[in-house]
Amino acid sequence: MPLPPDFVLTYEMFILGGVFITILGFLICAGLPAKRSPLYSAKVSEDQIGILVKGDESALVTFKTIFVKHKALEIQEEARK
């Protein structure tokens, strides 16, 4: 019995669909694309070092004083919620 003319095309489309679903599943499970933090800086990925400090509101002045004392190039703050 000969194969129907659409058999090969159908098989190839199932394979292609499987590849697309696999890639889509990977992206969803990996959490991509994700929103960047508002504190993201492209300078860090080029040639500078970034330090993220989490602390209470009372320690904010102390943190700023330390960074200014050591001549930090830039200090960013996250918007308070």
In a domain, 60, yes or no: yes
Question: pLDDT by residue for the chain (81 residues), tens digit each?
Answer: 777 889 989 999 999 999 999 999 999 999 888 888 888 888 888 999 999 888 888 898 999 999 999 999 999 888 766
Q: Which of 60, 32, 37 is nearest to 50 (CA)?
A: 37
Residue pair 3/12 in contact by the 8 Å Cβ criterion: no
CB count within 10 Å of CB 28 equals: 9
Residue 1 inside a domain? The answer is no
Give the residue numbers spanning the domain of 32: 7-69
Number of domains within the chain: 1
Asked whether the whole model's pTM tops 0.85, one would answer: no
N- to C-terminal Cα separation, the chain = 70
33 domain-assigned = yes
> Is the residue at 77 inside a domain?
no
**Tokens representing 39?**
């504190």
